[in-house]
Structure 1
Amino acid sequence: MDVPWTLVTDLQSTRPTALTSRVPAVDPARLVAELVPPPHFATASFESYVPDPVHPSQAAAVQRLRDAAQAVGRGAGSSWLRRRRTQPEAVYLDGGFGVGKTHLLAALAHAVTAAGHRAAFGTFVEYTNLVGALGFRQTVDALAAHRLVCIDEFELDDPGDTVLMSRLLRELADHGVALAATSNTLPGSLGEGRFAADDFLREIQALAARFDVLRIDGDDYRHRSVEHGEALDDDAVRAALAGRAGATLDDFGALLDHLATVHPSKYGALLDGVTLVGLTGVHGVRKQDVALRLVVLVDRLYDRDVPVLLGGGGTDGLFSEEMRRGGYRKKYYRALSRLGALASEGAALAAATAASTTDAPTTSAPTTSAPPAVGA
């Protein structure tokens, strides 16, 4: 039986593509324009943050950031020279996973933007990648046009990048740009006091006195573990992707190889239009450079709320125990937490697809060879 050409075209359009087939070209201007709170925090506000009364530091942080937003707004009308002569706002949010630091940082950026001023928002890695793509001086010039620069997930595990970021922030502060940053305290270090804050202030010595450190206590509001060992069968991954517009399907090993050919600053563009990612043959990653590229991809997936279907071994043993004890441990714990959340969403979609297939009524074969009318 001949299938109408329009039906064939429609079926092909919903067939999963592969991330490995994408080689994004990104204009440098886009990298700067995309420094805004990601879709996951597009509606974050001070009002939508619900402080836990058991931990007063959460409510205190909200009020302090409200004050910071107002202070940034008041300074916007002053001259560039006057702003250089006054110390701009600089706050640092210290706390464990899931206490709402990124939510509050995004809320601060939204508040400043709503008041008519420019605010940049990006992760530590996105800013270091920006310097790599534009050059240091061009990055300073681009960010100096903003009233506020927010750095999420400030990372202290790479001395070179930390020094680079310290210099960048120092120059921005000298231009009168307000600064805000977050970083994570590891789950096992929550009882050690200002673990991340002490590291942060030590590593950015030239800026330490400018930052007001806000400790945010509390439990992970998501109440989830960073370990998610459950995985789907590879065939189940493929079945769940069938007919889904915007879905991609890749062999995990092939994708890791492909990431090595794409600059990390372009990983966001790699996901343009993607609504669901399927990965088959997921296995443990043992090379540090490969693992760190995967961490960046997971961050971009999480920013964009893209569910993931994990075949093979799933997140079980994805990063070795040695990696999770090493210098990049915070990155790996964050990636496991975020990938686990996205995989849970993906697994729910797969279960719904399997249920709908099982419950679908059986229809008898047509008695005529004439194809059905498309669109009927």
Structure 2
Amino acid sequence: MTLEQTGAVVRLTERTPSITGAEIAAELVPPPQFEHATFESYRPDHDYPSQAAAVEKLKTFAKAWEPQRPAGFFSRSRKRIETKPGVYLDGGFGVGKTHLLAALWHEAPGRKYFGTFIEYTALVGALGYAGAVKLLSGSTLICIDEFELDDPGDTMMMTRMLSELVASGTRIAATSNTPPNALGEGRFAASDFLREIQALSGHFETVRIDGLDYRRRDTEGRALTVDPEAFEKTVVALASRGEAVTSDAFDDLVAHLATVHPSKYIKMISGIDVIGLTDVQVLHDQMAALRLVAFIDRVYDAEIPVVQTGVPLNTVFDDEMLGGGYRKKYLRSVSRMIALTTGELPPHGDED
């Protein structure tokens, strides 16, 4: 049986999903690999004391939700530890930022949300600004993984919304997406991005997390690529045994991603077991590269392996991109693409 004869093979390029505000809100929880993330299951690298210090900082932040114990007749009233309403985790990829963010989410009582910056901006797009604020108001905690600085309009909109939510009593936690060669490394990066959002940075305590990629793979590994014949045999075999497998030309997929909002990428890959990409090529268009990064993030969160032909996926970003302002974002994606093609996806609760 050939690939053309296998009717079970899916084309991602034929999927153009829609998504509602309610669906987006329902997905605002930690990815599956962080379903049981806790402060105790985080494994700090003792060579980098800031990792253990970050755990203690977040435990202190979480004490804001502990009920006040009534003082005894002769005892002094215990004073609650005062913390800022926001905490901002700043560090490289693979040091455990997302794990710690998810652990904090699990500690929070009541209604709470966990999502990427893109998911929150998509929520505003679906519900409108007032609708999104109404939905999120009254929540105990909002976690934002990889706070984006790519789009000034989105950034200002998010900072305005977060300021309103903080004023109403909601606490905020975020991880950074600061390019390593940008101003503000080690501080709340957004305060160096636009004057208009300096007020928001005042709500946050920055927690720096140093260290190496916990996989120790960094970006020196190599994504696994196969020849076209092996690719076809693999895809046919997977489809024949009932796996939901896709097969798309890389260029076609990249072009299709431009027609689908990144918030919908998660629905594009819904129900898929393995993703197949043929003839992977080096990208030279920054917007296409950033869309691919967003797509790979969703694939990685969903823990879907990738089989590919062409140049190794970890080499798709050209030298100009890797030397530019989004270097950190690209290197994080490279690390994830290596894991997706080599079967080195982390065990639950082990990601960054």
Cα deviation digits, residues 210-240 of structure 1 (max 9, x gap):
1111111222111113353652213222222
Displacement after TM superposition at 1:328 (Å)? 2.8
Displacement after TM superposition at 1:303 (Å)? 1.0
* Correspondence 1:148 to 2:141: yes
Match of 2:90 in 1: 94
Cα deviation digits, residues 122-144 of structure 1 (max 9, x gap):
11222222222322221111122
> Taking structure 2 as the reference length, what is the TM-score of the superposition?
0.83
Q: Which amino acid aligns with 2:229?
A: D
Q: Which moved more, 1:134-143 or 1:294-303?
A: 134-143
Aligned equivalent of 2:235, options 233, 241, 245: 241
* Correspondence 1:337 to 2:330: no
Match of 2:57 in 1: 64
Contact 1:38/1:303, CA 8 A, preserved across alignment: yes
Unaligned runs of 5+ in 2: 69-81, 346-352
Displacement after TM superposition at 1:72 (Å)? 3.4
Aligned equivalent of 1:268, options 246, 266, 269: 266
Displacement after TM superposition at 1:87 (Å)? 8.0
Q: Which amino acid aligns with 2:46?
A: P
User: For the residues of structure 2 that align with 1:61 and 1:313, how far apart are their CA atoms?
Assistant: 38
Match of 1:7 in 2: none
Match of 1:202 in 2: 192
Q: After TM superposition, list the pairs within 5 Å mapping 1:177-192 onto structure 2.
A: 177-184=170-177
* Correspondence 1:158 to 2:151: yes
Displacement after TM superposition at 1:161 (Å)? 2.4
- In structure 2, the CA distance between the partners of 1:134 and 1:330, relative to structure 1 (3 Å rule), is farther
Q: Which amino acid aligns with 1:234?
A: P
Aligned equivalent of 1:136, options 121, 126, 129: 129
User: For the residues of structure 1 that align with 2:92 and 2:31, how far apart are their CA atoms?
Assistant: 20
Structure 1 segments (4+ residues) deviating >4 Å: none
Displacement after TM superposition at 1:74 (Å)? 4.4
User: For the residues of structure 2 that align with 1:135 and 1:247, how far apart are their CA atoms?
Assistant: 36
User: For the residues of structure 2 that align with 1:261 and 1:231, how far apart are their CA atoms?
Assistant: 27
User: For the residues of structure 1 that align with 2:65 and 2:198, how far apart are their CA atoms?
Assistant: 23
Q: After TM superposition, list the pairs within 5 Å mapping 1:222-233 onto structure 2.
A: 222-226=215-219, 228=222, 230-233=224-227
> What root-mean-square deviation, in Å, do the aligned CA atoms of Structure 1 and Structure 2 show?
2.6
User: For the residues of structure 2 that align with 1:285 and 1:308, how far apart are their CA atoms?
Assistant: 18
Displacement after TM superposition at 1:94 (Å)? 1.1
Unaligned runs of 5+ in 1: 1-10, 76-85, 348-376
Displacement after TM superposition at 1:338 (Å)? 1.3
User: For the residues of structure 1 that align with 2:157 and 2:106, how far apart are their CA atoms?
Assistant: 27
Q: Which amino acid aligns with 1:255?
A: L
Displacement after TM superposition at 1:242 (Å)? 2.3
Aligned equivalent of 2:160, options 164, 167, 170: 167
Q: Which amino acid aligns with 2:100?
A: L
Match of 1:320 in 2: 318
Match of 1:32 in 2: 25
Q: Which amino acid aligns with 2:93?
A: F
- In structure 2, the CA distance between the partners of 1:100 and 1:334, relative to structure 1 (3 Å rule), is same
Larger of the two Rg values belongs to structure: 1
Match of 2:105 in 1: 109
Match of 2:74 in 1: none
- In structure 2, the CA distance between the partners of 1:73 and 1:279, relative to structure 1 (3 Å rule), is farther
**Identical aligned pairs, as a percentage?**
48
User: For the residues of structure 2 that align with 1:87 and 1:195, how far apart are their CA atoms?
Assistant: 22
User: For the residues of structure 1 that align with 2:314 and 2:34, how far apart are their CA atoms?
Assistant: 28
Q: Which amino acid aligns with 2:233?
A: A
- In structure 2, the CA distance between the partners of 1:88 and 1:218, relative to structure 1 (3 Å rule), is closer
Contact 1:72/1:89, CA 8 A, preserved across alignment: no
Cα deviation digits, residues 279-313 of structure 1 (max 9, x gap):
00110122222222111111101111111112111
Cα deviation digits, residues 33-84 of structure 1 (max 9, x gap):
1011011222211111012222222122112212222313549xxxxxxxxx
> Taking structure 1 as the reference length, what is the TM-score of the superposition?
0.78
Name the one with the larger helix percent.
Answer: 1
Match of 1:259 in 2: 257
User: For the residues of structure 2 that align with 1:74 and 1:321, how far apart are their CA atoms?
Assistant: 53
Q: Which moved more, 1:226-235 or 1:283-292?
A: 226-235
Q: Which amino acid aligns with 2:244?
A: G
Contact 1:133/1:265, CA 8 A, preserved across alignment: no
User: For the residues of structure 1 that align with 2:66 and 2:272, how far apart are their CA atoms?
Assistant: 36
Equivalent residue pairs, number: 320
Q: Which amino acid aligns with 1:263?
A: H
